[in-house]
Amino acid sequence: MKYYYDFHMHSALSPCGDNDMTPNNIANMAVLKGLDIIALSDHNSCRNAAAAMEAGREAGVIVVPGMEVESVEEVHILTLFPDIESAEKMEKTVTENLPPVRNREDIFGEQLILDKNDEEVGRIDNLLISATMLTSEQIFAEALDAGGIAIPAHVDKTSYSMISNLGAIPEDIDVKLIELSAKCDADSFFVNYPGLADYPHLRDSDAHFLWDISERLNYISTEKQITDAGSLIELLKGPCEAYELGSDD
């Protein structure tokens, strides 16, 4: 069975995310685009994930709680979790390791916490688009300890990626799969980095605006049923032979 996905998008909580990226707008846009599973992965926080999961249940799309965590080396790492409690455990670690830099809304944008009805219930004052004091290795270990999975984000990009900033995937990190940006020419990329071709690779939108959310193109094909975030994470943490990542593009 094919499940169409987009695991990397930002809500109005991320200062770079458009304020129209609310839990209900995201969930319903995903349904309009024919997606089965999405993940909300704001910068260094999951405070809007619970509302998005509830909006997803009402709209008919699975929403996975996640975060895009930035390491001390300024590497972006996509973290996905089986439930909101696991995500919040990881968020606590991330928050404790964020530098005390106050957000300037006039420069960086608002960081809105929204409820299930898309109503503002708070704002985060500490700037979320900062590098944490956690190394890439620590982020992988902490995500695993919380029950989730960590994935090197947009490895083809020339900034904020594990390849651009570290030169390679460190040997002591247990990487299950990698993420390519939506418009990456995978064949050309893997010519330059042949060692990465052996990893299963996601293609995500990294959407900051509603219209950037992926179309019904990228899928996970598996004989196992994906019914919620937990079953997805269990699949991705298991042997790659249990699923196939592909695209209709």
Best CA proximity match to 229, nearest among 103, 81, 112, 93: 81
3-state SS, residue 145: helix
- The pTM assigned to this predicted structure is 0.97
The residue among 43, 78, 48 whose CA lies nearest residue 63 is 48
Successive 10-residue mean pLDDT values, the chain, 249 residues: 98 98 98 98 98 98 98 98 98 98 97 96 98 98 98 97 95 94 92 93 98 98 97 95 93
pLDDT for 40-81, tens place per residue? 999 999 999 999 999 999 999 999 999 999 999 999 999 999
Backbone angles phi, psi at 225, to 5 degrees: -85, 130
Crossing angle for the helix pair 84-96 and 49-59, nearest 10 degrees? 160
pLDDT per position as a tens digit, 186-198: 999 999 999 999 9
pLDDT at 249: 78
pLDDT of residue 167: 93
Spatial neighbors of 48 by CB under 8 A, at least 6 apart, are 11, 12, 13, 23, 40, 42, 112, 113, 114
**CA 16, 110, 5, 39 torsion: positive or negative?**
positive
Q: Dihedral sign, CA of 180, 47, 116, 150? A: positive
